[in-house]
Structure 1
Amino acid sequence: MKKTFLVYRLALIPFILFTFCSVINSKEAHAMQSIKGKKVVIIIAKNNFRDEELLEPKAILEKNGAAVTIASSSLKESKGMLGAKVSPDILFTDIAVGDYDAVIFVGGTGSSEYWDNPTAHTIAKEANKVNKIVGAICIAPVTLAKAGLLKGKKATTYSSTVNDIKSEGANYTGEGVERDGNIITADGPASAKKFGEAIVKALQK
């Protein structure tokens, strides 16, 4: 009797494993479809963008079904601070905000080129005005701050630029990733993955 019961239990193992895997796959499929059809434009510096801050969120967004466009101030191959090489799809001056569900600014030392750039400010403000997701990581939140988007908003940034965003009225929280409404900011490379996940979550709604 015990032997028969043991055989019965062993026979159930493949069924249990199949059911478990089916549930996991179903959840993954749901996640993949959750932002399917969403379009995201990621703006990088023409040189010295921070590699992880582009590559990790990009991979997460694409894994979850989003179409990602890379924009920069030059169409020439851009080199990241750690050596990654990327050929932008479009010039950032050609961004049509209405074509995208999210506009993301990547950091790295080169991203300061957008801090005082009127076109970058216009893109950020137009996206915010129509409630698109607007994100920035590392030192890139300074661009949003100088565009007036962080005034009275909870935000975070790289340690060297805390005063830059606070001087523009941001409520600096010191978090790795911070979201206030449609605006998502992150403090640097170590938070790149969570930053990408936060963008995905925001696009699901």
Structure 2
Amino acid sequence: MERRQFTKLALLGGSLAPFLSGCQPLAKRQASNAGQTTASAHLSKAEAESVSRNAHEALMGLKEDFKMTGEEHIAMLLYPGFAALDLVGPQYLFAAMMGAKIHLISPTDDLKPVTSGEGLKIVPTHTPSECPEALDILFVPGGANGTLEAMKNAKLIDFIAGKADSSNYVSSVCTGSLLLGKAGLLKGKKATSHWAMLELLPEFGAIPVKQRVVWDGKLITGGGVTAGIDFGLQIVAALRGKTYAQTIQLQAEYDPAPPYDSGSPEKADPFVRDNLKGILAPLLESFRLAI
């Protein structure tokens, strides 16, 4: 392994070392834990780096279900008004894959910051013409009015349709699936979207599935907004193995414990659900007209 790759892992934080050491054989782990429990707070920098290196080598030594490094090319499309968390959640997980190359694709021929629907500005890394020809993953985020406008952007839709042919996986989160549908990529496919827009998928010839993440061949679609984290972890597992995905999940401390059990229309209070659905009704009909 290259030195810079090890350095990148080490820079993720010494806190990873105890997590990764969990891959050691149980007897060895129990013996080492006894000494580390009280001494870990007093490690020198050199000792901490040694612990990190040993943990790294433990993972590298796995024979199955683990690929430490790779060269995946992942294109993540930006457009004005996209939902920031749709993009940032999966991007965090993809960026944790050592060696993976993430391309943030501008909707125009320049690299000016693109403003999300929530006001967060993201600076693209590549224009559409600079996007690699062959992709491991083509990713499209969703949004509200921004996605509605993107559906009317023929150049953007043509880019999605064209890149889909040369991508190993074509994916979206939330209403990003409506952009895939507009590009003609959902016909006969099982897919999902934000719960309030799920009924629109048959308009594209898709089979709607009320599920956090839906796989159908090379098509991967995620539900609304936060489903992008589950979506991203499943893709990491497919590319690098379940252990890699579990390690990133622990690094991110993704252990959902929401204060309210109101994250789906089936669980939400009917008053909350019905009124939110009413608020979103004009957007739903606008999407229907755009289809």
Bin the TM-score by the shorter chain. Answer: 0.7 to 0.9
After superposition, residues 11-50 of structure 1 pair within 5 angstroms as: 13-14=31-32, 26-27=58-59, 33-34=68-69, 36-46=70-80, 48-50=81-83
Alpha-carbon distance in structure 2 between the residues aligned to 1:180 and 1:165: 14
1:106 to 122, 141, 166: 141
Aligned residues: CA RMSD: 3.0
Alpha-carbon distance in structure 1 between the residues aligned to 2:223 and 2:208: 11
Cα pair 2:138 2:164 within 8 Å, conserved: no
1:70 to 104, 113, 132: 104
* The 10-residue stretch of structure 1 (120-129 or 178-187) with the greater mean CA deviation from structure 2: 120-129
1:118 to 154, 157, 175: 154
Is 1:54 aligned to 2:87, yes or no? Answer: yes
Aligned amino acid, residue 49 of structure 1: F
Task: State the secondary structure of the residue aligned to 2:220.
Answer: strand
List per-residue Cα deviations over 1:110-155 (Å, max 9, x = no partner): 1233324333333333343345211111111011112221111110
Would the alpha carbon gap of residues 204 and 115 (structure 1) be closer, same or farther in structure 2, given more than 3 Å must change? farther
1:187 to 201, 209, 223: 223
Task: State the secondary structure of the residue aligned to 1:184.
Answer: strand
Alpha-carbon distance in structure 2 between the residues aligned to 1:51 and 1:170: 26
Alpha-carbon distance in structure 2 between the residues aligned to 1:119 and 1:33: 37
Q: TM-score, normalised by structure 1?
A: 0.77
Cα pair 1:178 1:184 within 8 Å, conserved: yes
Alpha-carbon distance in structure 1 between the residues aligned to 2:135 and 2:72: 7
Residue 165 of structure 1 and its aligned partner are, at CA, apart by 1.7
Alpha-carbon distance in structure 1 between the residues aligned to 2:201 and 2:213: 15
Task: State the secondary structure of the residue aligned to 1:157.
Answer: coil
List per-residue Cα deviations over 1:33-56 (Å, max 9, x = no partner): 25x21111101222x221211111
Residue 96 of structure 1 and its aligned partner are, at CA, apart by 4.0
Residue 204 of structure 1 and its aligned partner are, at CA, apart by 4.5
After superposition, residues 138-157 of structure 1 pair within 5 angstroms as: 138-157=174-193
Q: Which 5+ residue runs of structure 2 have no aligned equivalent?
A: 1-26, 37-51, 242-291
**2:262 alignment partner in structure 1:** none
Task: State the secondary structure of the residue aligned to 2:142.
Answer: coil
Alpha-carbon distance in structure 2 between the residues aligned to 1:119 and 1:135: 19
Residue 175 of structure 1 and its aligned partner are, at CA, apart by 0.6
**1:170 alignment partner in structure 2:** 206
Alpha-carbon distance in structure 2 between the residues aligned to 1:186 and 1:151: 17
Alpha-carbon distance in structure 1 between the residues aligned to 2:168 and 2:188: 18
Alpha-carbon distance in structure 1 between the residues aligned to 2:84 and 2:197: 19
Would the alpha carbon gap of residues 129 and 59 (structure 1) be closer, same or farther in structure 2, given more than 3 Å must change? same
Q: Which 5+ residue runs of structure 1 have no aligned equivalent?
A: 1-8
Count of residues paired in the alignment:
190
* Amino-acid identity (%): 23
